[in-house]
Structure 1
Amino acid sequence: MATSTLNGDIATLSSDYKKAIAEAFLGNSKDLDAYFRLYERRFKNDQRSGATTQPSQQPPCCVLHEDIIKAAAILKQKSHLTLGAIREKLKTEVSPRYSIDQLNFLLEFTMQAMLMIDAVAPDTKPYKVGRHQFTLWSEGESLLDFVTRCFPQVSAERRDLVGQVVADKRSLKAWKLKKRLHITFEATDNLANHLLFDSHKRIIYVFHHAGYLKAHLNLWQQSGADARNVGITRAISERTLSPRLLAETLHSLQSILFHYGDTKSNEILQKLVNEEGFDPSCEEANGYLPFKDGLKDFMYTYWGDRLAIIHAFTLDRPPRGRIGKLVKRHTTDRNLFIIAVMALLVSAAVGIIQTAIAWMAWKDQTNI
């Protein structure tokens, strides 16, 4: 789509750009309001020049929309290349006029639009949420290695544990987490942060772009391929993510946290949609194509460990008050045993005293 063909009406121009981006990455432009809200929030649309601009950049860092689509094609074909090599490839094959800042912005936009991952941000330090530390795409790391690192699979040793957690998914309903453990839910636009749990702040980060997930699953469904065992390598070469990863993400939203049959959890979801900008598509449960909806043996290959961390927190139920925290901090298994024995002795002593009092009362009555 050449820029020269888009010098029409401003409203039509914006619509044309949205349609081109959506069809390039998602196959259609329907039910993607949240996707485009993110697009418009993170990137300012310069409708006169047909470019996206980074508002914080001085002067504005303009990147053509058509170049984003070209960059995505290169990323799909060259996923084995490192970040540095891909940046050089973009400079020679997309536009030699782009500066380093513009190339980084182009990559940032493309990775967000294509894979919904935060990848390139200069001078950004690694950040930690709960037990998880996230680092962005490093210079000598290939695209494939970076995406694989973003979505590690559950180890063979932990599969049984994850299976037990999923079997007890009723304990992970949103209303139970909120009422019993005072946990809140915060939207994230970075798929790699899905289900990260900050136990200190009691926040679960939720990737809420259900429309994006459904669109990609529909692409796999339409392809006619057996998508159950498609890994990250093949998925990226076909412009999308692993269908199992997509299905697990949607399942965790609609069949665990905000179960479509659970009224209390759906009330929380409605509030998140209305007040916190969650994707309204989260409320539309229409299955996990090409995976069958409602399978009892639905396996969690990618998000199982994060569900297990949340589940463990529900079992532990840490105390909230200062006294409760102090007691827990100084309580060991040995202390618990001693306390139990002392409680038993106290109970026995109370019983003896009560018996003695009752006997003395009886004796007094007989002496009258």
Structure 2
Amino acid sequence: MIPPSEDEKAQIEEQLLHNASGLKHAASSSEAYFKHYQSVICPDEADDAVIQIEESTLRTHVDVLTYAKILCENGTLSRDETTKRWFDKQVATATEIDHIMRAVVNVTFMINCDERDYYPKGIDCGTRRAKWERNQSFLNFLETSFLPLQQSANVGLALGDQTSLKAWKLARRYGIQIRGTDNLLEHLLYDPRQRTLMIFHHAAYLRSHLRHSKDDSLDMGFAESLTLKTLPPRLLFETLLSLHYILFPIVHIGSKRSRSLLKKYIKAQNFDKEILWFECVRPVPPDFTFRYWGGRLEKLQEVTKRPPPRNSLVSWFERHTSERNALTVAILGLFLTVILGLLGVVVGVFQLVVAWLAWKDARA
């Protein structure tokens, strides 16, 4: 499929981003989103990894909007029931249906709903395989994917002044590499082996969806938010605050390093340029706590308290300095001290004997 025209962008902007501010807005503040949209819906045909979809199955961008509308309005239907409604009068292969299903969910909710592999060992904080099963409703998929995140934190982490979690400190002091992601489920996901931290950077997407539900309760659940064709306000709000209050506090005095780092990521990793613009959309409650991302933020705090090794040599020493190894080294050190002490005594006695014999020879 060819990229959307300006008129089609306006339709996508209105339905998927809930913005109806005209073509100029669609071409500016939503630039990062449309780059992502095109990479998913109309990728480069030269890419061998791309599954080519027949014209009869996905003809226009209006089809994408139609499938997204059916998805949101029928959240209690299973995956098979949803796709059946999509292609009730069309012929499509199972591969085409699965591809379109992943693509539509991706551009509508910025979620990869068909993770084939589990995350690497060492990644936790409520992380699980995110897969929309065939007999599972979309609403249940969302709940089982995000709600376990709230159980990963002992207590909801307060907003506070988490200065140790600034992105530039994580990168410079602890050797953590920041990587942008288009998958909201990967936000704040830290891989201890690769020492990488994933950041969902689509600030414009977060703000536009927050505006759409700004008059509703912050704690509105998945069922209610799905009827509004969006995600729960708290989830979106926490994500935006984690960017602008924790990782890149550009609103604070002395935020030059944070802004500089953001500009670097915008240039090198195509971060959303709108991330440089601070707007929370909603007022921040005085007792606000992170319920969705609290566990992952706690994980990062642990990393700053016990920094990972910066190279393989330090890593080897850390792996071989367990409590048992430390006790062994201590006993060995004590044993060597005793041996060296005995050798010192023997040398001292030998020196006394030599001195006594020399004195005796001198008297003779």
Scaled by the length of structure 2, the TM-score of the pair is 0.77
Letter of the aligned partner of 1:81 in structure 2?
A: L
Percent pairwise identity: 29
Give the aligned length: 315
Question: Aligned runs of 1:232-243 on 2, under 5 Å?
Answer: 232-243=222-233
The answer to whether residue 300 in structure 2 is matched with residue 310 in structure 1 is: yes
Corresponding residue of 1:103? 97
Residues 105 and 113, structure 2, Cα contact 8 Å, conserved in 1 = yes
Select between 31-40 and 326-335 the one with higher mean Cα deviation.
Answer: 326-335
Question: Aligned runs of 1:160-309 on 2, under 5 Å?
Answer: 162-163=157-158, 166-167=159-160, 169-221=162-214, 224-225=215-216, 227-260=217-250, 261=252, 262-287=255-280, 289-290=281-282, 292-293=283-284, 295-309=285-299
Q: How far apart are the structure 2 equivalents of 1:210 and 1:183?
A: 22
* Alpha-carbon distance, 1:105 to partner: 3.2
Q: CA RMSD in A?
A: 3.1
**SS state at 2:155 partner:** helix
The counterpart of 2:137, out of the listed 138, 142, 158, is 142
Q: How far apart are the structure 2 equivalents of 1:98 and 1:233?
A: 30
Corresponding residue of 1:4? none
Unmatched tracts of structure 2, length 5 or more: 338-364
Q: How far apart are the structure 2 equivalents of 1:278 and 1:323?
A: 34
Distance 1:108 1:282, change over 3 A: same
Corresponding residue of 1:21? 12
Q: Deviations over 1:219-254 (max 9, x none)?
A: 112xx33x2110111111110000000010111111
The counterpart of 1:73, out of the listed 69, 73, 81, is 69
Unmatched tracts of structure 1, length 5 or more: 1-9, 47-53, 347-368
Corresponding residue of 2:58? 62
Q: How far apart are the structure 1 equivalents of 2:42 and 2:66?
A: 20
Distance 1:313 1:168, change over 3 A: farther
Letter of the aligned partner of 2:181 in structure 1?
A: T
Question: Aligned runs of 1:14-53 on 2, under 5 Å?
Answer: 14-28=5-19, 30=25, 31-44=29-42
Q: Which has the larger radius of gyration?
A: 2
Q: How far apart are the structure 1 equivalents of 2:184 and 2:207?
A: 14
Q: How far apart are the structure 2 equivalents of 1:196 and 1:321?
A: 22
Residues 43 and 55, structure 1, Cα contact 8 Å, conserved in 2 = no
Scaled by the length of structure 1, the TM-score of the pair is 0.76
Corresponding residue of 2:345? none
Q: How far apart are the structure 1 equivalents of 2:173 and 2:43?
A: 44
- The one of the two structures with greater contact order (alpha-carbon pairs below 8 A, sep at least 6) is 2
Q: How far apart are the structure 1 equivalents of 2:299 and 2:43?
A: 40
Letter of the aligned partner of 2:116 in structure 1?
A: K
Corresponding residue of 1:356? none
